[in-house]
Structure 1
């Protein structure tokens, strides 16, 4: 198929921890990904202290010389927990193959006009700070692109953003004037109203690996303005019969910087208020969220009896909203957004999901290429799988089909476990327990490192849901 014409500037923003970081001497200080992830994590505690941010940094840079050098290409992990996320090179390659888009090659002068722009950023810092950098970068690149040919003089910007990258782009669009040059804002699993996973990471701390590593990662995570800006901006904590915002609690949560927590509320409020105040017109950018659904997702929580930990729940009252396993559905689709795509996919793999790419194609191409008829009724799977297992243990996952899905209790489901380094894969059939409930167990031992686990219905590759796994040593007291 020939490349589809696309004259706009397309900007791709990764999520938190999805950018490589280097220090002032060009030494890489964050770049753990792929097969080397677990080996690097084991020694990370020795260097993470240098990335920890000072108290009361606010929206500034700490002046430590750290800068972003590129996006990560393979599996990487979120701070404070091992919730793996896939890389972004595959998405960039797919965009370049399918559309008339081109990236700037290493060594090419910055003056060379390009219209596919990955935007790596120092994910430790405030989303406001990074939105300011995005503004300067995007407006310079768009001016250069428009000036490079007469046919490009009316080009605008399309943002494709994963997770926290969508908050940075949205703050630029709504609060820093970006709506004037933006055609589309596409977000994949962005926590527009926050994620309980972020709050749990701050309160409960890191729980896997040697004691020194856990302590170092916990201190690091608690210093980040960005991680506080990912905490829920909705009433998520059960106190008696009522749900409260974290910032409304009568006693502070341990591990949470109260100043940063209240500032995070102001950050989200600024986006909402700017969007509501702005006069909408025909040239207003389309805001299209992609929202992962049906995956068990922590949505509310209660405090433990001693008040020192959070105990999470996937339910809101009597309802289970679901989401992508990290971001609740209610957060990924904020009020005012266009009805977006709702893939059955987990958070870390949204950017590599086949259905997500089909929907992206239909948004970006002049003529939609993908049409689904009644015979292509999707198989909707929810997958519940751990992010981390001991390498000497077993790996178990469950899959659920909604009760209203025709034939949902008669599917032939299979799971494929693939090492990230391309080693031998293992495939097993899920056991059918009836009423849409399935399970499978992969016996250990597993080689330490990251894995991709794909669950799909036989003959229906479009049904695939990808769970990401890190196998390692359970050294709790080292």
Structure 2
């Protein structure tokens, strides 16, 4: 017998992360819509035509006037090598929400695609306009909905857009709670490395495009993260970093400072992935950043966003629970598919603070390291860390287009470390799933391989 759907009278709004919105030009022609099976064959074309999507210098919080508009969420695995890591799409999340709650897309379950190239402030203003209209419509649709409020469910960059609306544009007055999944509230050193180091060898050259994006600069770390003669320094205080627009980086610092100065007037739940090898600091030499984990906190993060940056700097912790119960062992790009995250969402969408859950069993506390982008001809190497040296683990590499998966047993290396090597995959997008032999699927890692 099917379980009854939980009653939700609020308006639930889903915001994706960077690259998570499909973009089209003024004629309706897709300019960013590469996911799943189409990802590989479209990346090189995108690399050749990306000049048209570059933003003008000194755009600030403005609209470039190029006719590009957001038209929906990315449905499947998507990535741009050199700009963030691969991310799974949002179709499955929306279907799960509709199955388990009295939510319906275009009714009280809204998606907010946005032009992810642009400033979070610009997109927050657009969000305000959309919410003003939609909440009025929803409240007027039935007497029991007159007191409805808004619940934001945000992945990654989407959390910064929603926070600016809630904390700086008056959105707290109608917001019940703001839920963020893997949002880099204090930035991510990975974004800084994408700017400084540029595209990886396996991808098209997107350096000039990346440097023009206010959004990518707003993802850069807002904490001391680059080692120098005087210790750790803010990136904005290091003149001459290549690949960085100094004006955009300075403005990003002001953006984060504005969020820090805003009083915490709405309930914020920051859910962050943990247990994955995650860079938190960097050293700079020979015009490149070399990423390293935070000293004493190896494996603390979701592979992209370290735990130290997953909670707002001014958060007391009372309204922003980032405890073991809310830090699933998961990679950044798949947090919205994680079963533990969805268990927490069941409670959060029911207007009740989530109950503390049991500690993760040893078999679930897996840290997975695998390449986000793989050059043609290279073997696909997977390394796993676990607290138990006696586990039987397996890894499954599955093509995103639904092709036949390949499985490999992970061999123990001693000290709770395991490894497996897959032969060089064919060009394409892949999902890697790692878990115990008896319960495959504890940790989901998305990864991309492509032929340069």
TM-score range with shorter-chain normalisation? over 0.9
Unaligned runs of 5+ in 2: none
2:92 aligned to which of 90, 93, 105 = 90
CA shift for structure 1 position 371:
8.5
The worse-fitting range, judged by mean Cα deviation, of 41-50 and 125-134 is: 41-50
Are residues 122 and 436 of structure 1, via their aligned partners in 2, closer, same or farther at CA, if it must alter by over 3 Å?
same
Q: Which structure 2 residues correspond to residues 156-171 of structure 1 after superposition, within 5 A?
A: 156-171=149-164
Query: 1:302 and 1:372, CA in 2 relative to 1: closer, same or farther beyond 3 A?
Result: closer
Number of matched pairs: 443
Q: 2: distance between equivalents of 1:101 and 1:82? A: 31
Provide closer, same or farther for how the CA distance between residues 290 and 140 of structure 1 changes in structure 2, counting only shifts above 3 A.
Answer: same
Aligned counterparts, 1:216-255, within 5 A: 217-249=206-238, 251-255=239-243
Residue 350, structure 1, aligned to residue 330, structure 2: no
- Give the superposition deviation at 1:241: 4.7
Establish whether residue 428 from structure 1 lines up as the match of residue 408 from structure 2.
yes
Q: Secondary structure at the match of 1:466?
A: strand
8 Å Cα contact 1:189/1:324 also seen in 2: yes
* 3-state DSSP of counterpart to 1:233: coil
Secondary structure class of the residue paired with 2:75: coil
Q: Which residue of 2 aligns with 1:287?
A: 268
Q: Deviations over 1:88-144 (max 9, x none)?
A: 11111110111001112xxxxxxxxx1100000000000000000001101210011
CA distance in 2, matches of 1:372, 1:269: 34
8 Å contact from structure 2 (residues 223, 234) kept in 1:
yes
Inter-partner Cα distance in structure 2 for 1:202 and 1:42 = 20
Deviations 1:357-380 (A, max 9, x none): 111112223689999568967621
Q: How does 1:38-437 map to 2 (within 5 A)?
A: 38-78=40-80, 80-81=82-83, 83-104=85-106, 114-209=107-202, 213-214=204-205, 217-249=206-238, 251-275=239-263, 284-304=265-285, 306=286, 308-316=287-295, 318-320=296-298, 322-334=300-312, 335-336=315-316, 337-340=319-322, 341-365=326-350, 379-402=364-387, 408-437=388-417
CA distance in 2 between partners of 1:128 and 1:352 (Å): 28
Q: Does 1:459 align with 2:438?
A: yes
Q: Does 1:15 align with 2:17?
A: yes
Q: Deviations over 1:191-249 (max 9, x none)?
A: 00000111001111112247xx31xx111011000000000000001002511101112
Counterparts in 2 of 1:373 and 1:257: CA distance versus 1, 3 Å: closer
1:470 is displaced (CA, Å) by: 1.5
Q: Distance in 1 between matches of 2:186 and 2:352?
A: 33
Match of residue 279 from structure 1: none
1:25 aligned counterpart, secondary structure: coil
1:83 deviates by 1.8
Shifted more, 465-474 versus 36-45: the winner is 465-474
Select which of 428, 433, 439 maps to 1:449: 428
Secondary structure of 2:254 counterpart? helix
Work out the CA distance in 2 between the residues paired with 1:365 and 1:297.
32
Closer/same/farther in 2, CA of residues 376 and 199 from structure 1, 3 Å limit: closer
Residues 178 and 371 of structure 1: CA distance in aligned 2, closer, same or farther (over 3 Å): closer
The answer on whether the counterparts of 1:415 and 1:454 sit within 8 Å (CA) in structure 2 is yes
Supply the distance in 1 between the matched residues of 2:212 and 2:279 (Cα, whole angstroms): 23
C-alpha distance in 1 between matches for 2:60 and 2:240 = 20
- Determine if contact 1:322/1:328 at 8 Å carries over to the other structure: yes
Distance 2:151 2:378 in 1: 45
Task: Using the TM superposition, give the Cα deviation of residue 253 of structure 1 relative to its aligned residue in structure 2, in angstroms.
Answer: 0.5
Deviation at 1:389, TM superposition (A): 1.5
Structure 1 spans left out of the alignment, 5+ residues: 105-113, 277-283, 403-407
> How many angstroms apart in 2 are the aligned matches of 1:354 and 1:319?
25
Shift of 1:388: 1.4
Contact 1:10–1:159 under 8 Å retained in 2:
yes
Aligned-residue RMSD, C-alpha: 1.9
SS across alignment from 1:411: coil
Secondary structure of residue in 2 paired with 1:315: coil
* Closer, same or farther: CA 374–255 of 1 in aligned 2, 3 Å: closer
1:254 to 1:368, Cα distance in 2 relative to 1, 3 A: closer
How many Å separate the matches in 1 of 2:168 and 2:327?
A: 27
Q: TM-score, normalised by structure 1?
A: 0.89
In structure 2, how many angstroms separate the alpha carbons of the residues matched to 1:34 and 1:448?
12
**2:29 is matched with which residue?**
27
Q: Find the aligned partners of 2:360 and 2:261 in 1 and give their Cα distance.
A: 44
Q: Give, in angstroms, the shift of residue 80 of structure 1.
A: 2.3
The equivalent of 1:281 in structure 2 is none
Q: Which residue does 1:473 correspond to in 2?
A: 451
**Conserved 8 A contact 1:4-1:366:** no
